[in-house]
Amino acid sequence: MTTDGQTRRFGGLTLEHDREWDYELDRIADAVEERDVETIGLQFPQGLKRQAPGVADDITDYVDRDVTALISGQPCYGACDVDMQLARQTDLFVHFGHTAMSESEGIIYVPLYSNVDPSPIIDEALAEFPDELDELGLVTTAQHVHRLEEMREQIEAAGYTVHTRKGAERLSREGQVLGCNYASADLPVDQLLYVGGGQFHPVGLAMEHPDKDVVIADPVNNLVTDATAEEFIKQRYGAVHRAMDAETWGVVYCTKIGQGRFERAQEIVANNDDAYLITTDEVTPDRLRSFGLDAYVNTGCPRVTTDDGAQFPAPLLTPGEYEIAVGNKPLDSLSFDTFHGTW
């Protein structure tokens, strides 16, 4: 292995923390050597796919062997969504951008940490809390979780008691949330501080924890806002109501490795003669439209159901919402569809 990787700036991923990236490149290069790798599979989330060719060049330039890089063209939205076909086809497989949900032989996870300093936006968020607030729960995403201890120290220095937890097997790091699991926010507090970019994670947080106040400190867009799930919750009730008239049901079993709840899907179908089990890797409006059924239950990613549900040709419900629609459970049992376990 060459050693100039320690100083060279690699073109593949233009993150500022080159040392982190160089370290990871070494980790990949070591595995290539150790395992006599001839083919290496590379998988990136949607927003980073454009970096894939540069990363492929970095790796093939850096290692001392002839390796063929295969880049996954499958959509990818999380660590639940490992391209297992490519992983099986290649000698080594590298999944970028997410922390490991479950460690597997032959798969390297390369989380990509943000280089943005969250401390200014955390200060801004703290300034907006009422004076009487003295404790809060702190959660963040995979992109910022490497700075959790810095965040905690900053907030404690401002006089607060900070609560965090790891929460669930599915979450690899203390304080981390996923779009489908907010167990790290099961904390004895009324106030949660979410540090991270975008609306995707805090909306789920607000759905899962409707009894808590959620403040978003977004270091990427430099904004402090309140998270609310009100609009989503209204949509969920609307979808459940529309599905109450359904005579035929499609029950989707998602075949992505970290999204499969086959037993739940099979149980629904076994108890409803007008329900049909449909298997697919991507749960999209087009794929379900082909079947022309009255309503669908998605046992795969709950965020497809809650965030994209309105785009589907018929009501798309979570398993819990299905139980309400067919009268097995009361309307007020409606809650966020958390994913447990790994695979």
Chain residues in the site for a copy of itself (CB under 8 A): 41, 46, 49-50, 52-53, 56, 68-75, 83, 85-86, 89, 248, 250, 252-253, 255, 266, 269-270, 276-281, 287-288, 290-293
- Smallest distance, a copy of itself to C-beta of residue 232, A: 25
Return the number of the residue (194 or 249) whose C-beta is nearest a copy of itself: 249
- Smallest distance, a copy of itself to C-beta of residue 23, A: 24
Distance CA 289, CA 279 (A): 14
- Smallest distance, a copy of itself to C-beta of residue 276, A: 5
Return the number of the residue (2 or 279) whose C-beta is nearest a copy of itself: 279
- Closest C-alpha to 184, from 161, 168, 208, 204: 168
- Smallest distance, a copy of itself to C-beta of residue 175, A: 30
Backbone conformation region of residue 296, classed left if phi is above 0, alpha if psi is from -120 to 50, else beta: beta
Return the number of the residue (38 or 245) whose C-beta is nearest a copy of itself: 38
Residue 304, phi then psi, degrees to nearest 5: -60, -45
Distance CA 166, CA 102 (A): 15
H or E element in which residue 269 lies: helix 262-270
Residue 104 CB neighbour total at 10 angstroms: 17
Residue with tokens 């607060």: 160
- Smallest distance, a copy of itself to C-beta of residue 268, A: 11
Helix 119-128 and helix 148-157, axial crossing angle in degrees, nearest 10: 40
Residue 96, phi then psi, degrees to nearest 5: -100, 150
Return the number of the residue (117 or 274) whose C-beta is nearest a copy of itself: 274
Return the number of the residue (12 or 167) whose C-beta is nearest a copy of itself: 12
